[in-house]
Each structure stands twice: as structure tokens, then as C-alpha cells.
Chain A
Amino acid sequence: MDNTFFAEYAWLVPLFPFIAFAVLTAMGKGLKKTGAWIGTIASFLSLVLSLCIAGERLSGNAPDYGNQMDWITIGKLKLVAGFEVTNLSTLMLVVVTLVAFLVNLYSQGYMKKDERISTFFAYVALFTSSMLGLVLSDNLLTFYIFWELVGVCSFLLVGFWYQKPEAKAAAKKAFIVTRIGDLGLLIGLLLLFWYMPGHALDFTTLHNVYDTQSGAISTGITTLIALLIFVGAVGKSGQFPLHVWLPDAMEGPTPISALIHAATMVAAGVFLVVRTFDIFEASQVAMNTVAIVGAFTAIFAATIGLAQNDIKRILAYSTVSQLGYMMLALGVGSVTGAMFHLFTHAFFKALLFLGAGSVIHSVHTQDIREMGGLGRKMKITAWTFGLGSLALSGIPPFSGFWSKDAILTAALDKQPILFVVAVIAAFFTALYMARLFFLVFAGKPREGQHAKESSSVMTIPLIVLAVLATVSGFVETPFNGWLGHWLFPEGAEHDASGLVMVVSAAVGLLGLYIGWLTFVKGTIRRNAISDRAPGLVTLVARKYYIDELYHVLFVRPLQGLGKVLDLFDDYVIDGVVRLTGHGASALGRLNSRLQGGQVQTYALTALISIVILVVAIAGRRFW
């Protein structure tokens, strides 16, 4: 069989969910249960095709397949659109379609009672389609279009329960904050377009320009472009200082948090940096920025995660922190580490979110202080959630350990300070996961709480993801750099460091142990820290007052500006409009008074007009 047989049909992968979206939007509310199945089946077809492509590419050295067509021709300028299938995009295809399919399946249970279930599935299908399009794009222009599309879907889904004011506000916040990043990306793309030889925006040319003719674009401009692209990634991937939208986005339905705000869309920023990595590599400043922002975000979000009480918010800050790890990996030059962590993180974080959704579905609260002892009643959820927590905490041999290990190794190679920061963040990660897990599942059940295990349509995805969270790390271990070689055959770095493995496993276990002592055994008092340093705890619980700061610095002034512009609009613009309208109607009233049906008035008008006419003509003659 031809080595690119399935790859040639890769364009079908985003098409299936798009058809589902079109059908669901057209048929609308008529299909409740059927609508859900349409979305699920479409994502299943995408998954099957993606697996076929992956199988084909795994079976041997299949060549990269790309297909382009001319999209817009303006004079000599030609814009092309197309897709390309490489090992990198195949990996993303599999991750996205797999998580999307499982989330679709899960939502059948989770959203069962919702009125607008078919709308929900339509949005999910649109999101899946755009995300797959983004993954397959072979140039930055279509990439950007899909990038915005996933942003829109995120907005729609965060605000899905728009009856809740918090959800509405969160949707707006998500959209506006990511917009700030998108603006940076847009400017970066325009600069790139301007400076690239031949105005090409496709990744292949980009690679060639920076690989072979590294002088085509000056270093200063390269740094600027790289930083602007990174601003886009910061917005989408919730890095500091644009991380504020991601925790608020948890107002959306939980399956959405799993799909969009944990596994796929937020990883798009990382994916963007990976795809344009040649630009970053050409600029040391940009690389350092990426590394520092990533490391800072990792530890910053991890500390906030320690003090939150909302189960989904803890996971959201954890996502921010893990995305920081990926950025850190990119900043220290380990693309493999970033992609590997993206890959494992997609599974275990989706698992954790879906597990949290299962808990929320059962106890109808998101506050972990109101939960407890759920482990006995929700066995499957508890077990799978536990596996996910172990993976996230970086306990060997779960997947998170291996991917975090790859990042830590790379960090130690380049910059020991970053390594220390990342290790501390890893400790906090284990600690907050232990707190979360033990508070929710261990201890005595609360009175009056009727928790029961969720239906199998919700637990099956959990089990599948739990298996993946456990084993997916073995594709790239210090003993076996398979993933790196598969993704980047030319320049796969592959380091192993026993020290890093020991340290990373040790901090993970230490975090879990302290968590266990605090929240199960009670050897360490829970409020040991809050008693001694109440200010510190408040500071962390209030998320370092970032939201308040932004409110004072940006939101208020902008609202003031908005008010001024509103007044301007009301009085100046509308004034002119009203003047025109009133003037016309006054003229009309005058004319209609003339049309009084009084023949004598007509005659008088005619007389006056003639007099005026005569005077005018005579006057012209004399002056």
C-alpha cells in the first residue's frame, strides 16, 4: 500500500466534525438525543481516520505529505492554503480526536438533562473541527484563522450557560484577554509576512529561511517577531501575565474544561511556538523570555493552586502551571520535551477534569471543603482520578513523570536556576494534588450527601484516559527516545540524568506524603501555615491580587474611556444624526402645510415664487 494513502485524505479529519456542526445547527432543537450521537459519531470517524494516518506513519518512514492550492491571487502575490501531514501533526491529530471523542461520549451523560444539548454538541463539533484544522494547517495564515475560530468556540462554550452572570463575564473575559494575545500574534504575522522572502507564510519556507539562509531577516526583527508570536501563545496558553482568563473559564461545562481548557486549545499556544520554533531558535532573547515566562508561570500558578477551594479552579491553575512547564521546555530548547508533556498532559488533565466533572455531577458542588469520603461511593472515579493525580504529580512510572523528567533534564542542562524553580513547582504540584485528592475522596462522607457513581457512558472515558495517563509516558523515557526521534528525526536531543529522575520522583513523593500527613493523618495541622502567616495565605488565595490589579489598571480606565466615547456618541454623533432627521421632518411638515388644498395658498405661493425668481434674475443682471 502507498505510504501516503491515508495522509492524502487527512482533510477529511476536520471535515467530519464540521459536517456534524452544520447538521446540528441546521436541524437545531428537533434532535435531542440523536444530535448528541451525530457529534459523537463524527468525532469517532475523525478518530478512526487519525489512527489510520498514525498507523501508516508509524509503520515505516512515510514521507511527509502536503497539499496546497492557490487561495487568493492579488497581482503577483499569491496566498496559498493547504494541509500537511507530518509526524508532529499526526501526534496532535490523534490527541485531539481521541480526547474529543471521549469528551463527546462523556458529555452524553454529563449534559443529558440540558435543554440546549444539541447546541452544545454543535459547538463542540465546531471546536473539534477548527482545532483539527489548526493542527493540519501548513501555513501561518490558515493557522491564524483556525486559531481565532477555536477562540470563538471557547467563548461560546465558556458562556454556554449564559443565564449565569458569572459564565457571561467569564466568556467575555476569556475572549478579551486572549484577544490581547491574538493582537500580538497578528502583528507578528504581518511583520513576518512583510520580511519573509516572497511573502511566504508556510512552515516549510519558514524553516528553510531560518535553517539555510539565516541572514534573510535581521536579528532584531527576528526577536521582535518571535516575541510577538509568543504574546499570542501567552494569551492562548494562559501564561503569566495573561493567565487570568483560564481559571475563570471554568464556568463552562466541565467536559469543555477538559477538552478545550486542558487538553487541546490551551496547548495550541505551545503548538504554535513549536511550529515556529525556527524563529525562536534564531533569537536568544526570545528563547530566554519563553523560558523565564514558562518557569515563572509554572511556579506562580502552582502556588495559587495550593490555596483554592474550587475543584475545577485547582485543576485550572494546575493547567496553567503545566503549560508553563511546556513553555519552559521550549525556552531551553527541548521541543521534544514540550510536545511530550503536551501529549501526556492532554490525557491526564482531561482525565482529571472529567473525573472532577463526575464528582460535581454527583454531589452538585464544586467546593472541595464540602466533599469528602467519596472514594467509597464512586470507586471508578476515585481510582481513575487517583491515577491521574499520580501522573500529574510526576510519580514514576506514570506518564507525567517521564515527560516532566524530560523537561527537567533539559532545564538542568541549560540553566540550573530554572531547574530549581521547576522542581519547586513540581513539589507544589504534588502537594495540591494530594490536598485535592484526599479532601475529595478520603475521610468520612458528609452527611446528607447522596453521591453515587456516574453512568457508564461517563466512566468509560475515565477508564480509557486513566490507562493512557498511566502508559503514555513510555513512548519517551530516558532509556528510549522513540518519540523524539519520530517527531524530529533530524535534531532529536536525548539526554538522561539519573540525578534528575531521583530528584523529580523524590519531590513528587514528598509532596504527596506531606499532603497525606496533613489531610489524612492530621500529623501536620491543616492551618499550620495560615496561623503563622495569615497574610501569605490570603495573598495566595486571592491569586496575588492580579485580578484586582488588572481591574484598577486596565478595566476601570477602559470603562472610563468607554463612558466618554459613549457620551461622545450620544451627544455628538447621535446629535448630528438627530439633527438631520429632525431637519428633514420639519421641512416635511412645512411642505405638508403648504399642501393645504387651499387654492389661494397655492396661488400665493406661486406669486411669491415668481417674484423671487424675477428678483433673482433681475438681480443677476445688475450685479
Chain B
Amino acid sequence: MTYRFSTRQTLAHGFLILGAIIVLLPFYVMISTSFKSPAEIATGTGGVFGSQALFPDPTCLALGGNEPDCLVRPVLDNYSQAFTAAPMWRYLLNGVIVTLSIFALQTLVAVPAAYALAKLKFWGRDAAFALVLFCLLIPVHAIALPLYLMLAKLGLTNSYAALILPWIVSAFGIFLMRQFFMTVPDDLIDAARMDGMGEFAIIWRVMLPTAIPALLAFAIFSVVAHWNDYFWPRIVITGDRSLFTPPLGLREFKGDLGGDFYGPMMASATVIAVPLVVAFLLAQRRFIDGITLSGMK
């Protein structure tokens, strides 16, 4: 097969490549910085991976160590700092607990709500759906203060509940699942009723399994948003470091007076980003070969 040169295609691809570079550049800086020694970071030298020349660890020297004993390799030092200077494992665990709890509870609310909005007939259904759409327009920051006050009054700040509870009703999740449920044939639900299922059995035994692809799409939005969220945990977790989520953990390396530790900070950022990238490379396949409705008509 031969390919003919096409100006249009070349321009289009050039434009897309430019876009990809703009998106990927911060990741390049993050990963590259996590490999370098402080001197290389400060001077902007060392290429992609840094020279990996040994350098004396300032903390070790400050504690009175000999220079030959305190020599470390930049990449190893950055990543070991990421895990030792801050309880990174704890932060990652918190991140997993919080994002998975949020997603599970969101599913528990969104799937029945979406089923009712898509398939049940009741007075005010359209108005209720319009309200859900309206909720999509409200930015989180607009309601952050009242939410914080409510949690504070309930004495729930500095707890997992503060991180999870405000997010369990997701207007986007309800909307997304409702749109998917609209495509499920009514006959399937009627068949389930004839087979002796109640409405909740229909939701969990029929609607949910057929909606796995839609649920996965929602999972990506939900997990990414809450794993990466810095704003809300920063507000409700004020003292207790054991409740820090990974993005809050990055602040450990913002040294204020002692100077910033960019190397370990970028190493932490890389560690935080990796689970998401891996999870969604795996989930990608499920999108394609997920259960389809093709067996129904």
C-alpha cells in the first residue's frame, strides 16, 4: 500500500502533534526533574535524565556526616526522599480509600436515580431531570464555603467523611447513566418484571450489568477528579497529616524557609500520577470489548 502526500492531512497532524506536545510538556518536566540533582534543577542543565553524578546530601552533611559518606545518586535520592521524608504510602492509601468510597457511593446513588429518571413514569420526572442538569452548571467552588460550614457544624472536618460525603451525589453520574439507560429496551425491564424481579432487583441485576461500559466511563471521570483534587482536601483537612491525600502530600516538599525540594517533589508527583495512568491503560480495553446491547435487537 502506498500513501500519497496530502497537505490537509499533514497540516492536521502537525496541529495535533503540537497539541500533544503542549499537553505532554508538563509531564516531561515533572519526570525529568525527578531524575536530577538540585544543582542541575537550579541551573537547568543535565538534559533529560540529568548526569546522575553523585552529590552530597545536605541533610546528611548538616547532621555532621563526612562528605564521602553522604554522596547520593540524584534519582535514587529523589525517589527515596519521596517515600521517607513524607508518609507517601499512607497518602496513597488515603487516596485509594477516598476515591473508591466516593465512586462506590456515587454508583449507589446515581444508578437508581438514573433508572427512575429514564424508565419510571412519575409526576415531576422531567422537572427533576431538569434540576439534575441545572446542578451540572454549579461550580464546586461556589458551594465550598457552605459545605465547609455544614461539615464544621457537624464536627466532621478532619475526617474521611469530610473528604467523601460532599461528593456522593454526582449530577454528572446521574446524567450519564440516565442517558445510557434510555437506550435499554423497555421490553427487557418488562421481561424482568415478569420474571419476578422488583424494581431494585431490576436495577442491580439487569440495568447495572448492561451499563458496565457507561459506568467505567463515569469511573474515569470520578476517580481522576477526586484522586487529583487538591482544593477540597486542602479545605477540610487542616491538621491531621494521616488524612492527607496524595496531592496534599506534595506540600511536604514545599520547604518555605529551607528552600523548595523540587527533585523529591517531582518524584512524588510522578508516583502519584503513575497509578492513574496504569489503571486507565488497563480499563481502556474494557471500553472496547465491554458488554454490548447487541444481543437485544
Q: Do A and B bind each other?
A: no
